Amino acid sequence: MRLIRPLVETLHAYVPGEQPKIRGLVKLNTNENPYPPSPRVLRALRAAIDGRLRLYPNPTSDALRERLAVLHGCTPDHIVVGNGSDEILALATRAFVEPASPTEKKPRSKTARPPGATLVQYFTPSYSLYPVLADIHGAVRNPVPLKPGFRLPTVTDLRRGGRWRFDAALTFVTTPSAPTGCGYPRAALEALCANQRGVVVLDEAYVDFAAENALALALRYPNVLVARTFSKAYSLCFQRVGYAVASPDLVAALHKIKDSYNVNGLGQVAALASLDDLDYYRANFARVRATRGWLSERLGALGFDVTPSQTNFIFCRPPHFPAEDWFRQLRERRVLVRWFGARDVRDYLRITVGTPAEAKALLRAVRTILRR
Ligand SMILES: *Cc1c(COP(=O)(O)O)cnc(C)c1O
């Protein structure tokens, strides 16, 4: 008897960025925040480590949801907390998309349209987890290319292009985008959301480094869910806390299907304490933005084609030889950046904005490579 489902046998898992075992690398590959969590967060965590670890945590992260509701000017029933925002994205896939039958996944004729209820739609390039979530769920992927320069297509563009599905059960939009770092105007996102009949997830993992956000759309449109995370902006990747803001109906659906105790207790403590020290984090956002501007300029001067960034990373096309070689040569010089092999991005490197010292180390390595 077969032990593993055929779907799982053929899956390609998501490939996370490397977490190197060797020390002393300049680690600019996974968009972690270069600054530590606030001292208040570390104190709150230490104070929470005692005999109470034997108890289950609050199953729905209520204290955190109440605080987030105040922050965002809504009620807690608009908020669901996840084990990282990756869990929010997975829950949305499971709650809003019908798995396709095997025949729908491989239509016999090229003109056969899969039903919208089975579609997970996203732009390319964007977060490479979306197709993996679609595949795990047995849904049908609908990747649609961005415009040249990684710009967001308008609704008119999408209608003309013919590939976009306004009836897709679920559409993921990374905003500001990854891996490109491009910001999308809120008005353009609103036009997109208003024309989609299914759910639109606005994945705002990097929004704290951007000039604007689209949270208001989650409170205005019943089909819009904004996903946020404490990982990047709040220096809490290790703790795994993310959340969604959406209409109470969508939120209730995610609450129904999540694991009972999906967010660990220390994660809830850390996230809550972060919100007590927003000034500390806002100062960090400003530092990251300043380093981003400076590093973008320097890389540009060295011949890199730098995409303007609204995030804590820089997406750039390096000069003279292939990006993959740059990736390897930088690694030999102990600087770790990210290179993706997909056709539409293989000429680029994604470089996390670190501290000024890390940025300088990167530039030193780049200059050494250029001299050879
Ligand atoms: C990092 C990231 C996430 C999720 O981060 P979590 O650590 O799971 O909260 C979601 N979307 C994008 C685009 C990301 O880069």
Indicate the top mutation candidate among 184, 209, 232, 352 to test ligand 1's pocket, ranked by most ligand atoms within 8 A of CB. 232
Q: How many CB atoms lie within 10 A of CB 259?
A: 11
Ligand 1 mean position to 131 CA, how many Å? Answer: 14
Ligand 1 mean position to 230 CA, how many Å? Answer: 9
- Kindly state if the Cβ of 203 falls inside 6 Å of ligand 1: yes
Its CATH architecture, for the domain 39-277, is 3-Layer(aba) Sandwich (3.40)
CATH 3.90.1150.10 describes domain 6-37+279-371: yes
Which amino acid is residue 361, in one-letter code? Answer: A
Question: What's the chain's Rg over C-alpha atoms?
Answer: 21
pLDDT of 218 reads 98
Nearest atom of ligand 1 to the alpha carbon of 237: 7
Ligand 1 mean position to 210 CA, how many Å? Answer: 15
Please state, in angstroms and rounded to a whole number, the distance separating the CA atoms of residues 336 and 123.
27
Q: Return the domain boundaries, the chain.
A: 6-37+279-371, 39-277
- Kindly state if the Cβ of 116 falls inside 6 Å of ligand 1: no
Instruction: Spell out a b/e string for 143-167, using b for 16 or more CB atoms within 10 Å of the CB, else e.
Output: bbebeeebebbeeeebeeeeebbee
State the 10-residue block means of pLDDT for the chain, 372 residues long: 93 87 90 97 98 97 98 98 98 97 71 90 97 97 96 97 96 97 97 98 98 98 98 98 98 98 98 98 98 98 98 98 97 96 96 97 97 88
Residue with the nearest Cα to atom 12 of ligand 1?
205
- Kindly state if the Cβ of 231 falls inside 6 Å of ligand 1: yes
pLDDT of 108 reads 65
